Amino acid sequence: MSLNETRQVAIAVAPNGGRLTTADHACVPVTPDALATCASACLEAGAAMFHIHVRDRDQNHLLDAQAYVEAISAIRAAVGDRLVLQITTEALGRYQPDFQAEIVRKVRPEAASLALRELVPDAGHERSFAELLAFMAREGIMPQIILYSPDEAVRLNDLIKRGLVPFEDLPVLYVLGRYTAGQRSAPADLLPFLAASQPKFSHFMVCAFGPQEAACVTSAALLGGHVRVGFENNTALPDGSVAESNAQTVKVVADTLASLAISTRSAEALRSDWQKLLQRC
């Protein structure tokens, strides 16, 4: 990188998650139209990827192929291909691994997040996880493996070494603070994931629970990672006030990164990064 170039970091936004409702914050998007409006605003604020949860009529978490198709269609109508659209397979205690995997097969999204601890709760699910990843590789669906602890990163690396993952390397998301007291994270929580003894994944992204979200993801960007923000994990701004919208949380981080000579990476560039990575299999 020359002195005239700036490093680029992809910003993903997770605007709703499976728990927060409009009773918690009026700007939590829970319908296809609301997701589309939110996606447009987040794109303008600097996001490259949009992480989608869908809900039922009572705003409960839902894994449903038709609901995903409707949401993706509405978002694509609003933003075209200027955002990578990623669905979640998160269980939230409602769904079993086979059902979670089947959602990916039915929806055939551009990208999907897969929590290792949910899709592979024990050794008996390793084969089905390998089959899901092989399907995603054939279909060109971009996986991102969610890791809640350094131990899970070691476990994923073991699956790769044993040939159960059809990629030499793949995108991962390190989650900070999910299982801490009060679900509060701090920048130092990232360091165990990046320790010298830990497996190295060349494209890692970080999200963080709690009011230090912006500090955590900024630290991740400075340490070579990409970032995810949004109401799924946090609605507070760095000054402690409540964010008006998901777009505001994106803009705060984008502006902070810009002040550090780090620019935002586009959806097109993120797709290229992931596709090159996943072709090495």
- Using DSSP's 3-state secondary structure scheme, residue 118 falls into helix
Q: How does pLDDT run across 10-23, given as a tens digit for each residue?
A: 999 999 999 999 99
Give pLDDT, residue 7.
86
Give pLDDT, residue 23.
97
The strand pairing partners of 173, in sequence order, are 146, 205
- Strand residues in the chain grouped as ranges (E): 7-9, 11-13, 49-52, 54-55, 61-62, 84-88, 111-115, 142-147, 172-176, 204-208, 226-229, 262-264
Give pLDDT, residue 3.
41
Average pLDDT, the chain: 95
Which are the contacts of 113, defined by CB distance < 8 A and separation ≥ 6? 51, 86, 87, 88, 89, 90, 143, 144, 145, 146, 173
Question: Which among 134, 197, 208 is positioned nearest to 170, based on CA atoms?
Answer: 134
Q: How does pLDDT run across 29-81, given as a tens digit for each residue?
A: 999 999 999 999 999 999 999 999 999 999 999 999 999 999 999 999 999 99
Single-letter code of the amino acid located at 173: L
Which of 27-31, 118-122, 206-210, 272-276 shows the lowest per-residue confidence on average (mean pLDDT)?
272-276
Instruction: Please state the rounded mean pLDDT for residues 273-279.
Output: 87
54-55/61-62 β-pairing: antiparallel
CB atoms under 10 Å from CB of 159, counted, come to: 17
Q: What is the pTM of this model?
A: 0.96
Residue 205: φ, ψ to 5°: -125, 155
Give pLDDT, residue 182.
76
Give the span between the Cα atoms of 34 and 39, in whole angstroms: 8
Band (6; pLDDT cuts 50, 70, 90): confident
Give pLDDT, residue 263.
96
Please give the structure tokens belonging to residue 157: 């690396």
Instruction: Please state the rounded mean pLDDT for residues 203-211.
Output: 96
Give pLDDT, residue 56.
97
Quote the radius of gyration of the chain (alpha carbons, Å): 17
Q: What percent of the chain has pLDDT over 90?
A: 91
Give pLDDT, residue 102.
98
Residue 95: pLDDT above 80? yes
Mutual angle of helices 65-79 and 97-107, in 10-degree steps? 40
Residues in the chain: 281
Residue pair 129/243 in contact by the 8 Å Cβ criterion: no
Residue pair 52/14 in contact by the 8 Å Cβ criterion: no
Question: Which among 278, 213, 223, 198 is positioned nearest to 252, based on CA atoms?
Answer: 213
If residue 43 lies in a helix (H) or strand (E), which one and from where to where?
helix 32-45
- Using DSSP's 3-state secondary structure scheme, residue 213 falls into helix
